[in-house]
């Protein structure tokens, strides 16, 4: 390829939420490390502080200063948001979520002006910014959409929307088979997102997302072929009807330095070395890691049940408890004397944790997760089996992938999709303890889960290495975009 066709400018626009900002920043870093690719990232001032240090380290290590961050300011008052609410992890209700998305939608005109000034060759847009398709079409720029979930979840969602199998059951708890998937997958109406069952304010947003996807150039997936090959094929052939879906993950594996792993998306509330020192004093595979991501709040009574179950399990643990400032006094969610009794046995982290560092330590033998896709992939990449505890979004779909297809997890047994912590059914201590015992115990089933998890971890790492399936798909995508760009010039 000649020098006149060797450059490519890709602009990334993630939703301002940890589960979207973090992987899209990783993808931007991956693009920037390829020859002749310049990257721009669009975000808000607060969110830029969460990614600036990792961007600086990437450009320093690579020797190429080819990542630029451009700032847009959210119109808080116009959308009815409190001042400084720049990220979804500060949103506390479904109503605030809708207000937040309204604020993001109001960025259309400043974003259009930025694109006109920068004139990138391609825009990678978060799924929740469907209006970016109007901008890309205006300037004749290809739009790649980022969903931030699995092929599997997209296939399940498409099948339910296309065939409406849930309409054939009479109750919320009666299982039904999701049609025309590579595996027999059962789910209940109670585990489905609200917008698929009734007319909700969010339904209109998802309709706009679907329509924008149909007009986009293609899809970038944070997954890898060896993880879900049947669903990669099904997604291309049955969902989008083209081969314009590129899997380039697990993108978290682009973070090789400990500091990048520790500060992925936000500075941790605990020093990574403190976690490593604590873990290094434990037996291999003995520690349970318990974390529910950045947006899954729990009521104090549920945290109390978790604490009692962890103590009763007898396993050493790291428990991440977020948003403790919203819970009242610790007496409401922590058993009397719990922390004192657990000294040396358990490590409680209040706030953001260096999750990738923790999961990759040999002492960690299990992961209790809410099944957010970033956490799932980070667990898979570390070769760790999981207890699945989904709550909302597409998390119940991801649970089915882990437990029914990959068979590397144990279901805690939650059955109700609920965005609000107040409406979630309580999971009792006995149920939690039973799932932990099943995951961390001995026996053929547990050993098989661990073996399969280890194998997937090895495949994940190979996928992103030179010559691996994700490495090669990223190369193909970049070459495709360069060809498209220079044919149009």
Kindly list the catalytic residues: 20, 126
Edge-to-edge strands of the sheet including 317-321? 346-350, 317-321, 287-291, 364-369, 386-388, 409-411
Query: How many helices and strands in the chain, by DSSP H and E?
Result: 19, 15
DSSP per residue, 44-101: -HHHHHHHHHHHHHHHHHHS---EEEEE----HHHHTPPTT--SGGG--SHHHHHHHH
Question: What radius of gyration do the chain's Cα atoms show?
Answer: 22
Residues 6 or more apart whose Cβ sits within 8 Å of residue 93: 420
Nearest to 289 by CA among 279, 299, 281, 298: 279
Residue where the block lists tokens 């997604």: 235
* Residue 223, number of CB atoms within 10 A of its CB: 31
Torsion angle defined by CA atoms of residues 412, 413, 416 and 417, in that order, rounded to the nearest 10 degrees: 40
Contact call for residues 370 and 389 (beta carbons, < 8 A): yes
Burial 302-316 (b: 16+ CB within 10 A, else e): bbbbbbbbbbebebb
CA–CA separation, 98 vs 78, rounded Å? 13
Counted residue by residue, the chain has a size of: 489
DSSP E strand stretches across 78-213: 122-126, 143-146, 176-177, 186-187
């Amino acid at each position: 390829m000649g020098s006149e066709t060797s450059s490519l400018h890709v602009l990334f626009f993630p939703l301002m939420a940890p589960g979207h900002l973090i992987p899209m920043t990783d993808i931007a870093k991956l693009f920037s490390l390829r020859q002749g690719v310049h990257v721009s990232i669009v975000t808000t001032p607060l969110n830029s502080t969460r990614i600036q240090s990792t961007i600086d380290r990437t450009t320093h290590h690579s020797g190429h200063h080819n990542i630029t961050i451009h700032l847009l300011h959210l119109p808080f008052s116009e959308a009815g948001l409190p001042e400084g609410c720049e990220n979804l992890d500060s949103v506390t209700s479904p109503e605030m979520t809708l207000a937040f998305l309204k604020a993001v939608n109001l960025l259309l005109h400043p974003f259009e002006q930025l694109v006109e000034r920068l004139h990138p060759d391609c825009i990678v847009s978060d799924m929740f910014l469907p209006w970016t398709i109007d901008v890309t079409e205006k300037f004749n720029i290809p739009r790649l959409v980022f969903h931030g979930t699995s092929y599997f979840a997209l296939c399940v969602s498409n099948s339910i929307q296309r065939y409406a199998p849930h309409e054939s059951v009479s109750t919320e708890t009666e299982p039904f088979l999701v049609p025309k998937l590579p595996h027999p997958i059962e789910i209940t109406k109670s585990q489905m997102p609200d917008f698929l069952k009734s007319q909700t304010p969010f339904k209109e947003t998802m309709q706009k997302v679907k329509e924008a996807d149909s007009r986009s150039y293609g899809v970038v997936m944070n997954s890898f072929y060896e993880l879900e090959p049947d669903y990669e094929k099904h997604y291309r052939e049955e969902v989008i009807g083209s081969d314009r879906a590129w899997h380039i993950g697990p993108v978290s594996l682009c973070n090789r330095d400990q500091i990048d792993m520790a500060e992925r998306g936000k500075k941790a509330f605990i020093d990574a070395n403190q976690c490593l020192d604590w873990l290094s004093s434990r037996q291999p595979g003995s520690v349970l890691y318990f974390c529910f991501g950045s947006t899954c709040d729990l009521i104090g009574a549920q945290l109390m049940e978790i604490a009692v179950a962890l103590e009763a399990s007898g396993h050493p643990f790291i428990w991440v408890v977020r948003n403790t400032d919203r819970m009242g006094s610790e007496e409401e969610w922590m058993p009397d004397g719990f922390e004192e009794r657990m000294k040396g046995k358990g490590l409680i982290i209040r706030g953001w944790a260096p999750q990738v560092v923790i999961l990759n330590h040999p002492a960690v033998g299990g992961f209790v997760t809410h099944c957010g896709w970033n956490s799932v992939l980070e667990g898979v990449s570390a070769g760790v089996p999981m207890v699945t505890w989904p709550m909302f979004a597409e998390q119940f779909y991801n649970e089915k992938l882990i437990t029914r297809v990959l068979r590397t997890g144990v279901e805690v047994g939650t059955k109700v999709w609920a965005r609000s912590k107040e409406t979630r059914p309580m999971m009792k201590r006995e149920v939690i303890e039973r799932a932990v015992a099943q995951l961390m115990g001995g026996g053929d089933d547990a050993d098989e889960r661990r073996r399969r998890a280890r194998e997937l971890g090895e495949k994940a790492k190979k996928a992103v290495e030179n010559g691996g399936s994700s490495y090669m798909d990223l190369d193909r995508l970049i070459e495709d975009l360069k060809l498209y760009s220079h044919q149009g010039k």
